[in-house]
């Protein structure tokens, strides 16, 4: 089966993609293109999957650059493959021949570019990182590398949608403590449960940071098991582990 890769006109002409789970070598609960070395999947299958992603990006596998994601607001600027990935959740580069990659399974994968200035970014933006400012920090890092804020385009890839993202009162309180206007990203659920709109929150933060254009691909990871892995779905189904989707962009 061939790879299925979602792209956006906002990031053209740069090579990029939000890879679905189709076209991979993994099996069982990981069936498809699981690209997470840290999962309990067979290492050979993950290696094959990552090799296929690298080929799709037109690069050797060692040029798929990644960080050790920790739900932070930390951004690193990279100019070469990372032998010892730092703890961070976003990368920025002006170096051709590197593919910035993030792994997700409900959190937001966000790819950014100022193609004219030759600067790109990739972000793992879960609710914690987004609330703490990972998206704004990435835009700032791109500007520091020569990008123009108004020329930056940003695309949020497949992520969990509001109808599938039920949260408790403590979660809601964290967002209210940050900004009372955040109430608009919540809808009432059952009892004291609320439904949180993560991609709308991400778009709000990107636009408030001054990017020229921002969009969500409108794919829900939880709701489409044929195409996407989902951490929350795996919990609800009692699975021991789950696959991770990869998103990538290169100059």
Does some domain include residue 171? no
Does some domain include residue 17? yes
Does some domain include residue 90? yes
Does some domain include residue 244? yes
Structure tokens at 111: 């790819």
Does some domain include residue 33? yes
User: Is 90 exceeded by the pLDDT of residue 1?
Assistant: no
Residues 34-80: tens digit of each pLDDT: 999 999 999 999 999 999 999 999 999 999 999 999 999 999 999 99
Residues 193-232: tens digit of each pLDDT: 999 999 999 999 999 999 999 999 999 999 999 999 999 9
Does some domain include residue 173? no
Q: How many domains is the chain partitioned into structurally?
A: 1
pTM above 0.95, yes or no: yes
Does some domain include residue 182? no
At 30, which CATH number? Answer: 3.60.140.10
Does some domain include residue 55? yes
The boundaries of the domain holding residue 95 are: 5-161+197-250
Side-by-side strand order, sheet with 166-167: 166-167, 194-196, 186-188
Residues 113-165: tens digit of each pLDDT: 999 999 999 999 999 999 999 999 999 999 999 999 999 999 999 999 999 99
């Amino acid at each position: 089966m061939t790879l299925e890769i979602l792209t956006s006109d906002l990031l053209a002409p740069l090579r990029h993609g939000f890879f679905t789970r189709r076209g991979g070598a993994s099996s069982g609960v990981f069936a498809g293109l699981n690209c997470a070395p840290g999962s309990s999947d067979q290492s050979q299958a993950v290696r094959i999957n990552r090799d296929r992603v690298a080929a799709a990006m037109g690069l050797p596998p060692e040029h798929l650059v990644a960080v050790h994601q920790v739900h932070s607001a930390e951004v690193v600027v990279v100019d070469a493959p990372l032998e010892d990935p730092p703890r961070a959740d976003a990368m920025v580069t002006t170096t051709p021949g590197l593919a910035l990659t993030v792994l997700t399974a409900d959190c937001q994968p966000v790819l950014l570019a100022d193609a004219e200035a030759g600067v790109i970014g990739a972000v793992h933006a879960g609710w914690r990182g987004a609330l703490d400012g990972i998206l704004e920090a990435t835009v700032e890092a791109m500007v520091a590398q020569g990008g123009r804020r108004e020329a930056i385009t940003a695309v949020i890839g497949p992520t969990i949608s509001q109808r599938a993202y039920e949260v408790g009162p403590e979660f809601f309180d964290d967002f209210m403590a940050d900004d009372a206007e955040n109430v608009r990203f919540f809808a009432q659920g059952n009892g004291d449960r609320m439904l949180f709109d993560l991609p709308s929150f991400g778009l709000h933060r990107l636009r408030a940071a001054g990017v020229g254009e921002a969009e969500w691909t409108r794919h829900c990871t939880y709701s489409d098991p044929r195409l996407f892995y989902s951490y929350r779905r795996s919990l609800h189904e009692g699975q021991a582990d789950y696959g991770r989707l990869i998103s990538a962009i290169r100059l």
